[in-house]
Structure 1
Amino acid sequence: MALIPGGLTPQSVGDLLRQARENAKITQAAAAANLDVARTTLVAMEKGQRRPRVNELQKLAALYGLSLNELLRQDGTRVDLRPRFRHLGEESEKLQGAIALLNDLVQAEVELEDLLGIKRTRLDPPERPLLPGNVGIQAEQDAAELRQWLGLGLSPAHDIMSVLELQLGARVYIRKLDPKISGLYAFDERAGACILLNANHPRDRRTQTSAHELGHFVSTRRSPDTLHEGTPESTREERYANTFARCFLTPARAVHTKFRELTAGASRLTRRHIILLSHIFGVSREAMVRRLEELELAKPGTWEWFLQHGGITDMQVREVLGDLVKPDEAKVDAKRQISMRMSVMASEAWRQGLLSEGQIARLLHMDRVDARRLIDEFEAEGVETDGSRSFSA
């Protein structure tokens, strides 16, 4: 059966075949002989008049000294984010490892999408470069504007990762990093916004990091960012991103409204109030108290008072929220060598004959044993679901 991988047109595949053959300095006659077809058949393939089959593509790739994905790679597939970060002068070995991980994840995902013909939908938000004057005021205005643009209004952004991925089309990865590294952000014209978050951090901290990187996406889109422990707020860019994150996650009017509802009739601010407010807005207890202080809904030093009197513990949170405390699914997925989405795409590329086991191992930076295990899991799931129902054409 004829197949054009990745949704490429026959003309596009033909151009790629011709370019690869010419680069390998192989004649049409020699290539046709390798396929055991007439030269006119190969000519028809290169002109897009005859669809090549997967086994024919595999033979030609081997003849030209390429992998199948290299043979069918379109211009612009290559993504390299690392040079952008070098301008930051970051020397930490662990940070450089995180940068390399983000680059590898983006490159693999883009390549798999191209092979499978997946067209990622992107909706980059309006860019708001930093202006002279008070960046805090600008950040608050920009956060409110983006909320309106996204249709959030004053509603809590319960799952900012979904906002980033599903509404904006950003690439968000959650992997285990050094505890001191919170997140990385980079923008590429081809891949879009790319964000790496630390799976070792609690969900509410990742939420704060996501909003911080969203602030960079809005204001300093083409400048990479590394957020880690001790990142100073000395630059206007960092002050903007931090203020943007607070205002996006906890809009002043929404916080005032919920605070009034929850504390109605109360004579003092309690742990229960803080737990409920932080749950409503999806932020940490400390971030919530700091925001209340900033909005003058709590006295300065309130968070320090709680710390001096035992803090607000996870056990107390479970006592107040009960079943509302959900498992952190991102942490579960991060225990896998690669994400569930990436493993599904890689396995499907193998099933379609677009990638070999060895090519999957190289692309995903795993050994052959792990690549084989990934494929075996995919095949086992396929056996279980075959015949249940299929997608309509």
Structure 2
Amino acid sequence: MTEALSPQEVGERLRIAREAAKVTQAAAAAALDVARTTVVAIEQGHRRAKLDELQRLASLYGVSLNALLRREAVQVDLKPRFRRMGEQDDGVDDAVALLTTLVQAELELEDLLGVQRSRNDPPERPLMPGDVVLQAEHDAAELRQWLGIGQAPIHDIVSLLELQLGIRVFVRRLPAKISGLYAYDEAAGPCILLNAAHPRERRAQTGGHELGHLISTRRAPDALYDGSPEASREERYANAFARAFLTPARAVMAMFRDVTAGSSQLTRRHVIVLAHGFGVAREAMVRRLEELDLTKAGTWDWFEHNGGITNEQARQVLGDAWSVDARKADAARPVSLRLGMLAREAWKKNLLSEGQLAGLLQLDRVEIRELIDAFEDEEVDDATSRPMF
């Protein structure tokens, strides 16, 4: 079974799986009842692993033997790319490991089910000399036209990224300071991890930021922190791209004209309606108005120094349309809609057990059971529905 791959290839795959599962070499050695130096030798390809050892290690790492030994199975390790960015703390290292695990899990499920992911990588636009903000405005408008969405607001950027562009998008709870991660792998394509603990509007901004990196610096990884300074042209471009993509200039100007018709000054009500219309944070909306010279510079600071714009005020203005986070239920899901469907199909076809799925997706058995039950409930609903024609 191991003849298809060399000992060096098997060893490298075992190392990637072990690190993704956060298992030490000592723990792996204990599971095999061998010395740690034996595990080192296996991972370096100096000693061929026996079949029973591979089975025990696969179980320990929460992966299938198929993923380890099939030559066609794609292996992904994103950690070295982020290490090249410079010194990282444990929070980012853990987030990178999680992103690597989730990408590998999706790839394995696709492989098991014989699914070919549809990719739709947008045109790459490397940074040119000159004003990166103007470049970002142009590139964001170009991408909107390429996607066929024109000037329309984007109320669900995760679905746009995942279903229209074929990006592997995952939403999991991360440390509050980490907004998101982006990486590009030649085999897996673009991959994004967003922080489920952040509000919907902030996740949208992070998604737009990481999309900006896909457009401009495709093969360079990105770790976005809360309040990260715009220390480079690349970061200034990504931030400007997110603003331009989520709140296109012409659409903002048109909605601003309609919402503020007859008013001589910008009010909280105007800001609340505009932010709701574009699905962005109220601060982001005002900053964009300032950038487009639709209001005076420093307007948001004035609001903040005079009581801010509260959720209660938003509720009063929007009524039934108001929600703290209308997409929070989706963000709380342990897997994306697409990954959840792949996992359910693998279980339904007896390709993976609940325990194997739990290890693969880094979830506990209760979460896996809830995931499967949710899809079973949806199938019952579908079976009882009646066709329209």
Q: TM-score, normalised by structure 1?
A: 0.77
Helix, strand or coil: the match of 1:179?
Answer: coil
- The separation in 2 between residues aligned to 1:312 and 1:265, in whole angstroms, is 22
1:352 equivalent in alignment to 2:373: no
Which of 112, 115, 124 lines up with 1:115 in the alignment? 112
The RMSD of aligned alpha carbons is: 3.1
Deviations 1:77-98 (A, max 9, x none): 2111111111112421111111
- Between the two proteins, the alignment pairs up a number of residues equal to 336
| Matching of residue 239 in structure 1 with residue 239 in structure 2 | no
Once the two structures are TM-superposed, the CA of residue 64 in structure 1 deviates from its matched residue by: 8.8
1:331 maps onto 2:328 in alignment: yes
Give 2:373's aligned amino acid: E
Q: Which amino acid aligns with 1:280?
A: G
Residue 132 of structure 1 is aligned with which of 129, 132, 141?
129
| 1:365 matches 2:362 | yes
Question: Structure 1 residues 116, 316: CA separation in 2 closer, same or farther (over 3 Å shift)?
Answer: same
Q: Provide closer, same or farther for how the CA distance between residues 265 and 197 of structure 1 changes in structure 2, counting only shifts above 3 A.
A: same
SS in 2 for 1:277: helix
Query: Shift of the alpha carbon at 1:266?
Result: 1.0
User: Does 2:75 match 1:94?
Assistant: no
Structure 1 residues 1-393: aligned runs within 5 Å: 19=3, 67=64, 69-70=66-67, 73-326=70-323, 328=325, 330-339=327-336, 341-366=338-363, 369-370=365-366, 373=369, 377=373, 381=377
Does structure 2 retain, via aligned residues, the 8 Å contact 1:174–1:330? Answer: no
Partner of 2:20: none
- 2:2–2:69 Cα contact (<8 Å) kept: no
Q: Distance in 1 between matches of 2:69 and 2:383?
A: 31
**Corresponding letter in the other structure for 1:140:** E
**Counterpart amino acid of residue 268 in structure 1:** Q
Q: 1:383 to 1:187 in 2, by over 3 A?
A: closer
Tell me by how many angstroms 1:361 deviates: 3.3
Determine helix, strand or coil for the equivalent of 1:261.
helix
- SS of 1:128's partner is coil
Give 2:29's aligned residue.
none
Shift of 1:180: 0.8
| AA in 2 matched with 1:233 | E
- What are the superposed Cα offsets for residues 172-195 of structure 1, whole Å, 9 maximum, x if unpaired? 111111111111101111111111
**AA paired with 1:356?**
S
Whether the aligned pair in 1 keeps the contact of 2:169 and 2:336 (CA below 8 Å) is no
Alpha-carbon shift at residue 22 of structure 1 (Å): 11
> Letter of the aligned partner of 1:345 in structure 2?
L
TM-score by length of 2: 0.77
State percent identity of aligned pairs. Answer: 59
Q: 1:288 to 1:22 in 2, by over 3 A?
A: closer
* Residues 343 and 137 of structure 1: CA distance in aligned 2, closer, same or farther (over 3 Å): closer
Question: Cα distance, 1:293 vs. partner?
Answer: 1.1
Decide which structure has the larger Cα Rg and report it: 1
Task: Give the Cα separation in 1 of the matches to 2:215 and 2:232.
Answer: 16
Distance 1:360 1:268 in 2: 56
How far apart in 2 are the matches of 1:252 and 1:386? 42
Does the C-alpha gap of structure 1 residues 140 and 375 become closer, same or farther in structure 2, counting only changes over 3 Å? closer
Kindly tell me: are residues 385 and 304 of structure 1, through their superposed partners in 2, closer, same or farther at Cα, counting changes over 3 Å? Answer: closer
The alpha-carbon deviation at position 223 of structure 1 amounts to 0.3
Letter paired with 2:238: A
5+ residue gaps in structure 2? Answer: 8-50, 59-63
Q: Could you report, residue by residue, the CA deviation over 1:8-59 in whole angstroms, capped at 9, with x for unpaired residues?
A: xxxxxxxxx7955999xxxxxxxxxxxxxxxxxxxxxxxxxxxxxxxxxxxx
5+ long unaligned stretches in structure 1: 1-16, 24-60
Distance, in Å, in 2 between the alignment partners of 1:139 and 1:278 is 21
Partner-residue secondary structure (3-state), 1:197: strand
CA deviations on 1:301-355 (whole Å, 9 max, x unpaired) are 1111111111111111111112223574653244455455444433421332322
Contact 1:204 1:283 in 2 (8 A): yes
Check the 8 A contact 1:109/1:342 in 2, yes or no.
Answer: yes
Residues 332 and 18 of structure 1: is their aligned pair in 2 closer, same or farther, counting only changes over 3 Å?
same
- Look up the SS of the partner of 2:254 in the other structure: helix
Q: CA deviation at 1:371?
A: 7.5
Secondary structure in 2 matching 1:172:
strand
Alpha-carbon deviations, 1:68-117, whole Å to 9, x = none?
Answer: 53377352521111111111124211111111111111111111111112
State the alpha-carbon separation in 1 of the partners of residues 172 and 71 from structure 2.
Answer: 28
* 1:253-286 C-alpha deviation (Å, 9 max, x unpaired): 2111111111111121111111111111111111
Residue 177 of structure 1 contacts residue 200 of structure 1 at CA under 8 Å; is this kept in 2? yes
Structure 1 residue 377: Cα displacement = 3.2
